[in-house]
Amino acid sequence: MKVDASIGREWRDGNIEKAFEPGLGFARRHRSHRLQPRDAVRSAPPPNPTNAVAKCLNMDTIPDFPSLNLVFRARLTDRSTISVSLFILYSIRTSIQSFASNTNPAMERSRARRGTASCERRNDRDMALRMLRWVFVLLTALCIADGAASAQQLPKMVHAGLRTLYLAPVFIGIDRGIFKANGVEVTYQELESGALSPAALLSGQANVTSDEILGIAPLAKQGKEFMMVYNLMDRMTMNLVVRNDALAKAGYDPKAPVTQRAKALKGLTIGITRPGAPTDTYSRYFLVMAGLDPARDATLMQIGGGGALNAAFRSGRIDAFMLSPPFPQEAERDGVGKIIINNTAGEVPELTGMSYIVLFTTKEFAEKNKPALRSYVHSIQDALKWIEQNREEALKLLGANWFKNSKPETLALSFDALLPSLSTTGEFTPASFKKFLDVYKTIGEPVDIDLTEGKLWTNEFIKR
C-alpha cells in the first residue's frame, strides 16, 4: 500500500496550518490514490510532534494566536514550555475545528458532490482523536517537567552556624518556606563553635554564616575576603549568670549598678567557649568595667560550646559564664544560678545599638550570586516580621524542630527576651561599628580594621 507522507513533511517543516487545515481530510488531499475509506483511515500517518517542538525551540517570536496570550505572558523565557504549550493549544483548536467540520452543512454538501463524505468524516475524526491523545500525553509530561524544572531553578544556599535562638529567622524561614517563596532554597548546617564559621565558608561547606566582626576581621587582614550583608543583632545579648553559692559568698546586691554587680566576679572561675571569642571578650569587658584585672582577679577557663558550659556550670566546675538565651535562663529557672547582668534586655547602654552578630559570606560569593543573596536577606527580614506577628506558632516550630530539649516555658522566656535584639532591617551604621570597636579599646585590644563600606560590609542587599 502506498502512503503519501506530505502531512508529515508539512508538520516537520513547521507548516502547521497547511498540514492540519480544517476541513481538508486525508482522502480529499490524496484522492488520486483511490484508497478505500477504511484503508485511508489505517494508512494516515500519526502526527510527529517531536519535530514540531524542535522547530518551535528555534522560534524567536510566538505565533499570533490571541488565545495563547495569557498562557505565555508569565513564562516567555521558558522556550520549551512555550513550545509544548503551543502544540497542545493548537492541537485542541484543530481538533475542535475538525469535529465542527463534520457538522458543517456546506462541507457536507461539498463532500457529497465528491462522493467522499464517509471517508473524510472518518479521517477527520481519526485525526482529531490522535491529536487529543497527544494533547493528554504532552499535557501530563509538561506538568511533571514544569514542576521539576521549577524546583531545580531555585538557587541553593547553606547557612552554617551555632544552634542558638538568635538564628530563629533562619529556622523559621526554612520551616515556613519563606526562603523558597523569595526564590532561594536554604538548608542549615550546625557548627559546634563560632570559630568554625569562616572556615565553613572558605572550604565551600557553606555559603553564609554568622559571627561577630572580629571573627572575620583577622582573616580579612590575611587576604581572606568576606562581606557582611546583614546586621542581625544590634545589641550584645549574652547574659552573665553566676552560681548562687558564689553570689552568697560575694555579698551580691541585685539592686546595685552594673559595675558594682560585676565585682561579684572577683576570684571566680569564668567559663568561656575559647580565647578571643565573645564569651572571653565580654567577660573581660565586665571585669575591667568593675575595676578588676582579668589576668589576676579571675580565671578564664576554656570549656567549649553552650552545652558544655551549661554542664560545667551545673556541676560546679565553673562559677560563671556568659551566653545568649536559653542557657542562662534555664540555669536561673532551675535554681542553680542568677543572671546578674541582663544584656538581652539592653541593660547596658554601651552595648546596645551596635553591630554584634552579623550575617556574612565570602566577597566572591556576594559578587557572583547577588540575586540569591538578596533573596536570602529579604527572607530574613520577612521571617522576623512573621515571627513578631505569630509568636505562638513561631514558638511551636522552634520547640518542635530546633530546640527539642528546651522546656516550652524556658524557650518562651528566652524568645521574648531575645526578639527585641534582632534587627528587622539589618542595616549597618557608623555608630554601630564604633560601639563595637569601643569594647575592644576598653579591654586594651584596639582593632585595626577598615570598615569602609564595600570593603567588609554592605547595605546593598537589605534594600527592597
Question: Cβ atoms within 10 A of the Cβ of 449, count?
Answer: 19
| Residue numbers in the chain where pLDDT is lower than 70 | 1-152
**What are 369's three cell numbers?**
550570586
pLDDT of residue 208: 97
* Distance from C-alpha of 52 to C-alpha of 96, rounded to nearest angstrom: 20
pLDDT of residue 28: 42
Whether 197 and 359 have beta carbons less than 8 Å apart is answered as: no
pLDDT of residue 256: 95
**Phi/psi of residue 275, nearest 5 degrees:** -60, 135
Question: What pLDDT digit, counting tens, does each position of 28-50 carry?
Answer: 444 444 434 444 434 444 444 44
Domains of the chain: 6-152 (no CATH), 156-237+351-462 (3.40.190.10), 244-339 (3.40.190.10)
Closest CA to 184 of 360, 387, 463, 378: 378
**Residue in this structure with the C-alpha cell 532591617, named with its chain if needed:** 425
Q: How big is the CA angle at 34 (ends 30 and 37), to the nearest 5 degrees?
A: 85
SS3 for 82-137 is HHHHHHHHHHHHHHHHHHHHHCCHHHHHHHHHHCCHHHHHHHHHHHHHHHHHHHHH
pLDDT of residue 210: 92
CA 378, distance to chain mean position in Å, is: 9
- Residue 382 identity (one-letter amino acid): D
The DSSP code sequence of 54-80 is HHHHT-SS----GGGHHHHHT-TT-HH
DSSP 3-state of 446: coil
pTM here is: 0.64
For 407-440, b where at least 16 C-beta lie within 10 A, e where not — what string? eeebbbbbbebbbebbbeebebeeebbebbbebb
Alpha helices for 103-257 (secondary structure H): 105-114, 117-153, 168-175, 178-181, 197-202, 217-221, 244-250
Note the residue count of the chain: 464
